[in-house]
Amino acid sequence: MTSATDWPARLAEMVYFVELTEEDRQLIRASAPIINKHARSLTDTLYDRFLEYPKTRKFFVTETDEEDEERIEGNKQTMIRWLRDRGFADVGDSFARYVRAIGMMHRNLPRDRAQHGPVPSQYVIATISFYQTAIATLISQNIPDTDLATRTTIAWNKLLVVELDMLLGVYLNDK
C-alpha cells in the first residue's frame, strides 16, 4: 500500500475480518456509560505511566524536563474524547479518516517536537492494550451477567483491534 491507501476500504475489510457485528456495536454503545464514567481516571493512570517512563516522558516535558502541564492536559482531553467517541462504535468513512489523522499526528510530530521523532509504534500498541485491559476490568466489575460481560469485552476488543490496525497502517504504509 502507498499513500493512495483506500482507508475506508481497509477499515471495512478489518471490520469484516474480525467480525465486528452490529450486535457488537450495540454492546459497545450499551456499555459506553460505564467506560465514560471512568474515562478521566483511566487516562490519568495512562499519563502517569507515560511520565514515569523516559522514552514516553520526553513527549510531555519541556526542554528542562519539567512536565508541560498545558500539553499534558490538552493531550488527556483528546484521549478522553477519543475514548468516549469509541462508545458510539462508529466504523464508517469518517472514522477511517479520523483514525488515519491520529496515526499521522503520532508519526509526524509538530515542528516544536520534531527533535523527538515519531511516537514509536510500540507505545501506540501499548496504549491500545492499556485501554483494552482497563475496559475489560471495568466491564467485569460492572456487568454482573458473565456471558454479557464476556461478549461486551470481546466487542470492545474487536473495535480497538480494528483501530489499532488503522493506526499502525499509517506507520507502515502511508508515507
Q: Name the 3-class secondary structure at 144.
A: coil
Task: Report the run of H or E that residue 6 belongs to, with start and end.
Answer: none
User: Does the residue 41 lie in any domain?
Assistant: yes
164 to 32, 58, 61, 158: CA distances (angstroms): 19, 23, 26, 10
Task: Report the run of H or E that residue 171 belongs to, with start and end.
Answer: helix 146-173
User: Does the residue 87 lie in any domain?
Assistant: yes
Do 1 and 175 form a contact (C-beta atoms < 8 A)?
no
Over residues 61-75, mean pLDDT: 93
Domain count, the chain: 1
Q: Is the pLDDT of residue 39 over 80?
A: yes
DSSP summary character for residue 19: T
The answer for 78, left when phi > 0, alpha when psi is -120 to 50, beta otherwise, is: alpha
User: Does the residue 20 lie in any domain?
Assistant: yes
User: Does the residue 52 lie in any domain?
Assistant: yes
Q: Is the pLDDT of residue 131 over 80?
A: yes
Per-residue pLDDT band at 3 (split at 50, 70, 90): low
User: Does the residue 2 lie in any domain?
Assistant: no
Task: Residue 25: give its domain's CATH number.
Answer: 1.10.490.10
Among 48-52, 108-112, 115-119, 154-158, which is the least confidently predicted range?
A: 108-112
Residue whose C-alpha is closest to residue 162's, from 115, 95, 82, 68: 95
Q: Name the 3-class secondary structure at 67.
A: strand
Per-residue pLDDT band at 23 (split at 50, 70, 90): very high
Over residues 102-130, mean pLDDT: 80
53 to 61, 68, 155: CA distances (angstroms): 12, 15, 30
Per-residue pLDDT band at 116 (split at 50, 70, 90): low
Residue whose C-alpha is closest to residue 26's, from 139, 132, 156: 156
Over residues 10-27, mean pLDDT: 96
Winning range, highest mean pLDDT, from 24-28, 113-117, 120-124: 24-28
Backbone Cα Rg of the chain: 17
Do 28 and 89 form a contact (C-beta atoms < 8 A)?
yes
User: Does the residue 1 lie in any domain?
Assistant: no
Domain boundaries, position 142:
7-173
Per-residue pLDDT band at 111 (split at 50, 70, 90): low
Do 161 and 18 form a contact (C-beta atoms < 8 A)?
yes
